[in-house]
Each structure stands twice: as C-alpha cells, then as structure tokens.
Structure 1
Amino acid sequence: MLPRTRTSAVVAAAALALTAGLAVTGAQAAGSKSLPGPAWTAAWAASPQRASTGFKPNWSEDGFSGQTLRQVVRVTQGGDRARIRLSNAYGTSPLHIAGATIARTKKGAAVEEASVRRLTFEGRRSVSIPARGQLSSDEAGLDLKPFESVTVTLHLARTTGPATFHAQSFATSYRAQGDHVGDSGAGAFDESTESWYFLSGVDVSGKEPGHGKGVVLFGDSITDGFASSTDLNRRWSDALAERLTKAGTPRPVLNAGIGGNLVLNDSAWYGERGTARFGRDALSLPGVGTVVVLEGLNDIGFSESDTPTYKPAPEVSTGELIAGHRKLIRAAHAKGVKVVGATLLPLGGSDHYGERAAKVSGEFNEWVRSSGEYDSYVDFDRALADPADGERIAPQYDSGDHLHPNDAGYRAMARAVDLETL
C-alpha cells in the first residue's frame, strides 16, 4: 500500500514449488533435510522481491560488481549464536558470495571491531547460490541481546546481475568499492540506499529464550512500515515486540510486509501475491508459532486511484478477497500455526478511497470480526479511526496521506493487539 506519487547451509536448486496454492522453498520441494545442529529461531526477517525501480532510488536493477554491501538490521530475539539467510529467489544466474561477516553495529556503517565474525557456508568462506535458490550460513558465535542492531556485510566480487531485494527497508544500507568485508570502520562505505539486498533473515540460537514462538506480521506497506522514521525502528512490528517484552512475555516478531503487496495478484513492483508467498515468507520461518494477517487494501483500492501504480487494477469483490484470506487460513492451519486476522484500516481521504472500496472494506472487516474463521482477530479499523469520521484515520495517527499511520499510529496498532490472542 503506497501513496500515489522482507540449520546448515541449504541451497534450493529447484524453482519454488506450490503446495495448496502457496509457495514453499525449493529446498522443501526437493525434500532437502537439515543436518543436526542447534535449534534456530528467526530474530529478523525481510520478504524478498524481484529487482524493480521503486519509489526511491535503489541498486537492485543494476546489481553489484566488485563491491562490498553492508546492511544493518535489529533483532527481536537474543542468543549466543547467529546465522544469516540469503535469498537469490529472483536471480537468473548464480549469486557468488566472496565473503561475509556479521557484527554488532556501532554507528552507521561502523561496527564493533571485537564483534566481527567471519561467516562460512558448510565450512567455506565463499559460496554460490543457484538462481532461485536460498542459503543459510553456518553458525557464528556472537552474543546478541533482544533489540540489538547487527550488521551483515557481503563481498560481491563478481557481477551479480539484478538483485533479489526488499525495496523499502526504512533503514540505511551502505556500499563500498572493493573488498571491505572485514572493515570495522565506515570510511569506505560512501554510498547508501534504503533497501535490503539478498539478506532475508537473521536467526539466533542459545541463551535468551523467548516466552513463546515467533510472531510473523504478514501484509503490505502498513506492515512494512511505510512512513515510519528511517533508522529508528518505528514499524508496528517493532512496537509489538517492545510491548511483548514490557509485558514480561518476550517473543520474536518478524516483519513479512511488502509495500504495495496484494492478496490476489502478482506485481512487478510489489511482490508475488500474498497467497503465493505466504509459505516462504511467513510459515517457513524458523520457530514461527503465530501469523497476523493484515492485507487487502491494495486489492480493493488500486482500482480507485486516478493514477494507479499497479496496472491493470481489477475491481475485487468482497467474496474474492475473503476467498484469498481463506487460503491463508488453511495454509497456516495445515502447518499447525495460529493465524490472527486483522481488519483493514480506514482509507477515507486517500487515493485508495471510493464508494466501492469503502463498501468492500466494510464488508470484509465485518467478516473478520464475526465469521470466526480466523483463530482470533485484531480490530485496527476501530483502533485507528477518527471518532468524528469513522472512515478516516484519526489525525494524530495519520502520516499525511490518509492511508498509512505515522510512528504514533504504528504504536497504536501494537496497543490494539490483545497479547493473549497471540
């Protein structure tokens, strides 16, 4: 949803398979098995997208060649061992990683020198990931606390071609010419962007156990954190993780939002449809126990815009949208994962608004509240509505486009969740 103007090494050598209409990884499709090792929990995640222009300049279409990429993420679970997950899901040729490190973040592109750990992949410092493949590094001994920022650095010595990436990170990533994978300082990293590239997850193991399995938030740009403050971790996923910890029930919270994503249709800019990517981006994350689904405003709203960024923009009925959500519910239950539905936020005054969209949104929200098909639900529609006009986001929560919350609005979303339902 956007205004008008994210074991041992396992490489997926096959294309993504479909199970019950939902994507699973190539490794799963090929029947790959993890070697014995620590029990991993996803501590951070981002949903992969194919290379695209996007609303802000990014490096995905050009890719990388003879460069070092440095990316900063914040984990919501601690541990004494860490590994990374890399994705070449939309690559058309093998991706060569010449070297990689993980370290605690110092400031900007700088890292704590004593914390730098060289990463290996089945014992090797360099590795190639097949086109459409994914890979996990070996474990590295690194003490991390919940809400600590970590920096992942990749040396991309060969030409990558278009890069699998996550378009809108609301966090700064850095690039340097040459090999600077082991640098602790920021001096060489003189280019920056607000996207993540190839990095799809950071997992932890060991101490700092949570009080429950991971919670995945699945959706579009509202889940992704559009209009939240860059580099300050103010998405609603961040706010929910912080609230769980303050309540004495810490759990990792993983963000599986993609700006502009739709439940029912694929998009070159906005990722594969929700029903296709749900298995890969939510259900397959290590340690997941609950998924919260907030998605559908783009399906019903893009057709209302005078200048839609997604074309063609078909008119989607309430029944069609509900049918898509039922696929997500069935897939989650088949994996033994609890699935929580969310009502769509008010859209009055936005470029997604129109009589038809308002009608479908109202009918869909009533289905979420009353059908009982989701295991439970959270009512964002009522939590963020303007008391003076229920079709609009309350002014104190509105980022200005009448569609996306601001930082305060994302905190209000986290407060709206009954933690017991997770």
Structure 2
Amino acid sequence: MPNWQWAVVSTCDNFASLPFKLPQLSQLVKLTVGISGSLIRLSLTNRYGDHNLVFEQVVVADNPQMSNGQVVTAAQRSAIVVPAGEVLITDPIAFKVTAGQPLYVRMVASRPQKYADFASTYDPRMVNGTYSRMARLLPPLPTGCGARKGWFCLEGVQVFSSDQPLTVNVTGDSLAEMGLVANSLVKQLRAASDRPVVLINTAISGSRLLNDAPDDEPLFATFGQSLLHRLARPRWTAEITVALVGSNDLVLPLWSQAAFLPTVQQLVNGVDRLTKLADQHGSHLLMTTIPPFDLHLPAKQAAVSQHLAEVRFCINQQLVKRPFVVNVEPLVATGGRLTPQADFGDQLHYSPAGANLVATALFHWIDDKMSISHNRGTLKGADNEEGRTL
C-alpha cells in the first residue's frame, strides 16, 4: 500500500548565530527524488528562527526555468507561513515523479526577513540551490563543485509511494555535507540495486563526533550538535548510516578555546557508542578512518601538527579493527597527506576524484554485506569522469 515517504532530505542547519537578513528573497532549489509516485509535498523549516516566515509563492516544476510550474499551498493558501520554531509540511499536490528525477522549487518572499535555517552543498548533481535578494528574479543554478551553494528553509520532499527504497543517511561533517561522497555513493547504489535509493544528508559542516559546537564564536555555533547527540534522537531513520566524522574533534581545539582535544580512547569509545545508537534504530553503521589533514600551521608549531598526526594515526589503528570501518587512507593519501588527485585544494577535503574513490570503497562494503549488485563482481555507475580508472 502506498504511504507518505521521504524521497530526499538535505537538512537545514542552525545559523541563528549568523542569520541571513534579506530585504527580499527569490530562491531556486533542485532536489532529486529517490522514489516514484503521483503526489508530493514539501518540508519547509523555520526550526531555528525566532519569528514567522512568509513566502508569497512556492512553485514546483520539473525544469529549472519553472515553466508549467505548480503552486504549492499550505492550509489551502498560496501564501505560506512557516511558524517560528516549527517545521511545516505543505498540502499534497498532484505531481508525478519518477525515482532519480530532479524537482525544482522556487520560493519567493517580498518582505524583509531573517533566515536562520540554511542548507548547502558543493556538488550540484543531485541537490543544488541558489538565491537572489530580489523577489522578481529567477536566479540561475550554479554549476561545478568548486564553491558552496546555499538556500533556506527547504529540507526535503515527501512522495506518496508504494516503493520500498534503500534509505541511506550520509552524516557527519563537511566531508559529507559537501555532497561529493554522498552523490557518488548513491549513483553507484542506484546503478547496482534493484531497489530505488533515497539519500538523506544530515551532515553539518564543522560538526564533531563527541561534543556539541562551542559557543566562543558565532561561526562555531553553526557547527551544531555532536553526531552522538543527533543520532540519539534521529529525525530520520535509514537502513544504512554512513558517518564521515572525527576530523573536527582533532582540529577544532586549535581554533576554539572552548574545545578540548579528546584522547584516543575517548574518540574510539565515541565510535563504539555511535555503533550502538545505529543498531538501536535498526541501521547498519558504516564509517571511514579519519583522513589526513593539514592546518597549514607556521613552522614554529610543527610539533602541534606532528602531535595531531600521531593522535589520528593511533585512532585509525583502533578503528580499522572494527568491521564497519573502511580504511580510506591508502586510497586518497600518501605520506600522511592527501594526494593531489584526491585533494580539494585545502588538504582538508576530498576533490571529486577523491570523493569518488571513497564512495566506491563504501559501495563495495555495502554490496559485500547486503549483496545488492545485479551482477556481483561488476561495478556499475562508477564515475569515470571524476578520475576513477576501472
């Protein structure tokens, strides 16, 4: 029997400490659904705002030009009010979608408002967004993976569907939020599996495994709750949870006086607690080792960099003993540094090619444990254009 299911989620993070104050807003968001159906509805958030938000128009279309778009309503009204501190599910509209199809949502506000719920990505293949400060403009969606794309208050699409998808929650920090690993993984899963695949991205840039965001700088507050706290009370459930996390537990103490460097055992114990939380919610946990990073510290702080490298090495030695941990360092690094091919350019994040190498390793783990491939031993959908050699 069909029922309302999440078709795609890209969560909005808490930017109340650094809200966007805009005189007007016209934003365009692309969300690629993972299941098929003929009825859809949107999830609009004002979870972190301190006043109601009013959107005079919300329109959905199957093209970025928004031709033949359909007006979305809430309580049968085209002007949609999202109350402060709440999440609003819109009225259903008749709109046929197919798994893997991108939807385009335009949201218009003609009055000055402050937006605290912010979502972003770097990889525009499956999720993308942009906004203008002028309500009358339809901004073009950006391309390429080199810069951040952002939007407000729209975090997902529900579809009335009888599909039984494989639901994957990619979570953690910016390595996941950027979308490069998530999109490459989902692409490979969709090519290999008989089931449709739904992506739920709940990652938060700057997030840590063990501790919530420090409060000694407004930017740090946007890093949100720790992953342990978020998975203790998840807003979405998934069959598979992919956690890319741990780097910020080591990095953030260098920048924040309120953050403290955890011991090796504390971080490893946190990973084991994460495993138990995933199991409690019926999800298979999959993690990677912590990849190398370079904070570009001055030479006089070389001892600090060396200490962090040693801590990371000791943590990874413990993590690789866990059957749910994929060791990514041999794939993306040499000599304790990301390779030029795998480096985004900052020695902190994966390039598209590096992300695809990580995603392929994650795919093989999932396929080995869940036997999802049409043809075992054959990998379909690999992103050759991102530098992978078959």
TM above 0.5: yes
**Deviation at residue 279 of structure 1 after TM alignment:** 5.3
Cα deviation for residue 222 of structure 1 reads: 0.9
Cα deviation per residue 1:199-237 (whole Å; 9 max; x = unaligned)?
111223326x35x43101111111122xxxxxxxx6111
Structure 2: gaps spanning 5 or more residues: 143-147, 214-219, 371-390
Q: Which residue of 2 aligns with 1:354?
A: 305
TM-score, structure 1 length as denominator?
A: 0.72
Asked whether the equivalents of residues 168 and 259 of structure 1 are also in contact (C-alpha less than 8 Å), the reply is no
**Contact 1:176–1:189 (CA under 8 A) maintained in structure 2:** no
Distance 1:222 1:125 in 2: 37
**Counterpart for residue 413 of structure 1:** 358
Letter in structure 2 aligned against 1:239: S
CA contact (8 A) 1:48 1:89 kept: no
Query: Corresponding residue for 1:201?
Result: 156
Specify the SS of the correspondent of 1:312: coil
Q: Deviations over 1:319-360 (max 9, x none)?
A: 222343344333322222222222111225756972332233
**Unaligned runs of at least 5 residues, structure 1:** 1-35, 54-59, 181-186, 226-233
Shift of 1:411: 0.7
Alpha-carbon distance between aligned partners in 2 of 1:128 and 1:323, rounded to the nearest angstrom: 44
Equivalent-residue separation in structure 1 for 2:70 and 2:268 (angstroms): 47
Which deviates further from its counterpart, 346-355 or 119-128?
346-355
User: Counterparts in 2 of 1:360-371, with a 5 A limit?
Assistant: 360-371=311-322
- Please tell me the residue identity of whatever aligns with 1:314: F
TM alignment of 1:124-143, pairs within 5 A: 124-143=77-96
Query: Which letter does structure 1 place at the counterpart of 2:345?
Result: G
CA contact (8 A) 1:67 1:157 kept: yes
1:259: Cα distance to partner?
1.8
Q: Which residue of 2 aligns with 1:344?
A: 290
Q: 2:251 aligns with which of 301, 304, 321?
A: 301
- Summarize the alignment of residues 266-285 of structure 1 with structure 2, pairs less than 5 Å apart: 266=213, 267-278=220-231, 283-285=234-236
- Give me the whole-angstrom Cα distance separating, in 2, the residues matched to 1:345 and 1:262: 14
Question: Could you tell me how far apart the structure 2 residues matched to 1:350 and 1:276 are?
Answer: 31
Post-superposition offset of 1:260: 1.6
Alignment of 1:292 onto 2:242: yes
2:193 maps to which residue?
248
Structure 1 pair 205/37, CA: closer, same or farther in 2 (3 Å)?
A: closer
Q: Which amino acid aligns with 1:61?
A: F
| CA RMSD between the two structures | 3.0
Secondary structure in 2 aligned to 1:40?
strand
| Offset, 1:414 | 1.0
- C-alpha separation in 1, matches of 2:340 and 2:267: 28
Asked whether 1:98 is paired with 2:62, we answer: no
Residue of 153, 157, 175 corresponding to 1:222: 175
Residue aligned with 2:252, SS: helix
Among 304, 326, 342, the alignment partner of 1:397 is 342
Conservation of the 8 A alpha-carbon contact between 2:118 and 2:152: yes
Q: How big is each residue's C-alpha offset from its partner over 1:4-52, in whole Å with a ceiling of 9 and x where there is no partner?
A: xxxxxxxxxxxxxxxxxxxxxxxxxxxxxxxx98231332323422245
1:61 corresponds to: 20
1:44 aligns with 2:9: yes
Q: CA–CA distance in 2 between the matches of 1:103 and 1:190?
A: 14
CA distance in 2, matches of 1:322, 1:84: 38
Deviation at 1:292, TM superposition (A): 1.1
Equivalenced residue count is 345
- 2:27–2:151 contact (8 Å) kept in structure 1: no
Distance 1:150 1:322, change over 3 A: same
Question: What's the % identity of the aligned pairs?
Answer: 21
Q: Distance in 1 between matches of 2:222 and 2:205?
A: 9
Residue in structure 2 matching 1:325, options 271, 278, 286: 271
Aligned 8 A contact 2:35 2:161 in 1? no
Aligned AA (1:203): Q
The structural deviation recorded for 1:191 is 11
* Conserved 8 A contact 1:300-1:357: yes
Q: Check whether the contact 2:129–2:141 (CA below 8 A) recurs between aligned residues.
A: no
Residues 236, 79 of structure 1: CA spacing in aligned structure 2 closer, same or farther, 3 A cutoff?
A: farther
Asked if 1 retains the 8 angstrom alpha-carbon contact of 2:212 and 2:224, the reply is no
Q: How far 1:412 moved relative to its partner? A: 0.5
Local SS of the residue matching 1:124 = coil
Q: Are the aligned partners of 1:69 and 1:156 in contact in 2 as well (CA < 8 Å)?
A: no
CA distance in 2, matches of 1:383, 1:121: 48
Which runs of structure 1 show a deviation greater than 6 angstroms over 4 or more consecutive aligned residues? 190-193
**Counterparts in 2 of 1:83 and 1:92: CA distance versus 1, 3 Å:** same
Distance 2:85 2:161 in 1: 30
Displacement after TM superposition at 1:74 (Å): 3.1
